[in-house]
Amino acid sequence: MAQSTAHADNITMSGGGVYSLATIGAKDVIDRAMPRVLSAIDSMRAARLQEHVHWTFSDMGCADGGTSLDLWRTVINHLRDNDARDIQIIYADQANNDFNALVKILHGLTEFDAYLPQFENVRVLESGASFYTSILPANSLDLGFSATAMHWLSTLPCRLSEHVHMVGAVGGERETFAVQAAKDWQEILLQRAREMRPGAKLVLVNFCIDEEGRHLGHTGGVNMFERFNANWQSLLDQGTIDADEYHAMTLPQYYNTVEEFSAPLLDPASEVYASGLRLSDIETAIVSCPFAEDFKKHGDAARFAKAYLPTIRTWNESTFAGALKPERSSEDRAELIEHYYGLYENQVAADPTGHGMDYVHAYMTIEKI
């Protein structure tokens, strides 16, 4: 097993609003959760109307907030039918997130259609607290939401010797990732259990490995993670990077199965179950890669390749760049990273068949009794 580096620092999304502009698919994933979120709110509404407290929602791992604007606008409109109570939404992400972009997007200073100017008595707060820690005071949260974020582990459990991602890991290395992921999932849930009021809900939309073994970028066509690895390996074979740099590139991510997500919520002996959390519902769903869908209409392979690569770069460029030796100059680094993604872009342009980053998620609702 390769040596662990025990860090998960190099995982920032692209800043300056680039994240939301390049990730139309992530917005589609969130939009698909709307009925689930509204139904979670409806199930609490009657009880909450008896109380004179404001609504408190959280959006954990929000990045620049652009992809969930429509979700929260829909939620607020839905509540405003018969409920004028104050609403506060806590947007939380890691402290190194681009909070400037978040604040500007939320407050209507960009081309995104902000909801804040449209409503009274709605407040947003921005928090740099990780979802592995406490974000809110105890017993204060009504609905916690998170999309496409909780696959980031709290720490890298080990470097993978022959792959860049756990989906390609085998044997002891795969098991090491699974153990870390189970610990992390438990921590995320216990932190939320403390924050949630009785009757509160979590709607979590997390990457998963589905019942047929499919996952992000692997739904029947070209396996995106195999491409990442083969191209990174080719840089090693050509001597462009060295063995340390090849091995330093392990994404600190884990995609749980439905069983792994469900286990602590169904086991009466678990700490999570004892905390009062119960799984109300879980289902998996695939949201098609919008760039591959677009390609079906326009048929221009070069255009597809150019549009597709930025969505990949938003979430893994910082990790690939972080694997390069610090003694490299910034020009050398930038050139190498351009070259790396250029390889993939050229491959898609040369033969676009089967390329695309379909999203594979588990959508779940969890209640605190």
Ligand X SMILES: C[S@@+](CC[C@H](N)C(=O)[O-])C[C@H]1O[C@@H](n2cnc3c(N)ncnc32)[C@H](O)[C@@H]1O
How far apart are alpha carbons 70 and 33 in whole angstroms?
Answer: 11
Q: Pick the closer one to ligand X by CB: 98 or 173.
A: 98
Applying CB under 6 A, does 148 fall inside the site for ligand X?
Answer: yes
Tell the smallest beta-carbon distance from residue 83 to ligand X (Å).
Answer: 26
How far apart are alpha carbons 70 and 58 in whole angstroms?
Answer: 15
Q: Pick the closer one to ligand X by CB: 65 or 264.
A: 65
How far apart are alpha carbons 333 and 320 in whole angstroms?
Answer: 10
How far apart are alpha carbons 125 and 297 in whole angstroms?
Answer: 41
Size, binding site for ligand X by CB under 6 A: 22
Applying CB under 6 A, does 315 fall inside the site for ligand X?
Answer: yes
What is the Rg, in whole angstroms, of the alpha carbon atoms belonging to the chain?
A: 21
- Return the residues of window 79-108 that contact ligand X according to CB under 6 A: 92-94, 97
Q: Pick the closer one to ligand X by CB: 150 or 349.
A: 150
First vs last C-alpha separation in the chain:
42
Applying CB under 6 A, does 311 fall inside the site for ligand X?
Answer: no
Tell the smallest beta-carbon distance from residue 229 to ligand X (Å).
Answer: 20
Q: Pick the closer one to ligand X by CB: 41 or 62.
A: 62
Q: Pick the closer one to ligand X by CB: 146 or 352.
A: 146
Stretch that binds ligand X, among 58-66, 173-181, 230-238, 271-279 (CB under 6 A): 58-66
Applying CB under 6 A, does 367 fall inside the site for ligand X?
Answer: no
Tell the smallest beta-carbon distance from residue 190 to ligand X (Å).
Answer: 14
Q: Exactly one of 63, 189, 200, 248 binds ligand X (CB under 6 A); which one?
A: 63
- Return the residues of window 15-34 that contact ligand X according to CB under 6 A: 23, 26, 30
Q: Where are the alpha helices (DSSP H) in the chain?
A: 18-22, 24-31, 34-49, 69-80, 99-106, 171-195, 224-237, 243-248, 258-266, 271-274, 290-298, 301-322, 330-350
Applying CB under 6 A, does 10 fall inside the site for ligand X?
Answer: no
How far apart are alpha carbons 43 and 48 in whole angstroms?
Answer: 10
Stretch that binds ligand X, among 60-68, 74-82, 115-123, 173-181 (CB under 6 A): 60-68
Q: Please, which residues have CB within 8 angstroms of residue 89's CB and are 6 or more apart in sequence?
A: 57, 58, 59, 72, 122, 123, 124, 125
Q: At 130, list the tokens.
A: 């990780």
Q: How far is CA 83 from CA 59, 87, 223, 259, in A?
A: 21, 10, 47, 38
Q: Pick the closer one to ligand X by CB: 48 or 215.
A: 215
How long a stretch of residues is the chain? Answer: 369
- Residue 57's nearest CA partner among 74, 33, 39, 75 is 75
Applying CB under 6 A, does 256 fall inside the site for ligand X?
Answer: no
Give the interface with ligand X as residue ranges (CB under 6 A): 11, 13, 23, 26, 30, 60-63, 67, 92-94, 97, 130-132, 147-149, 152, 315
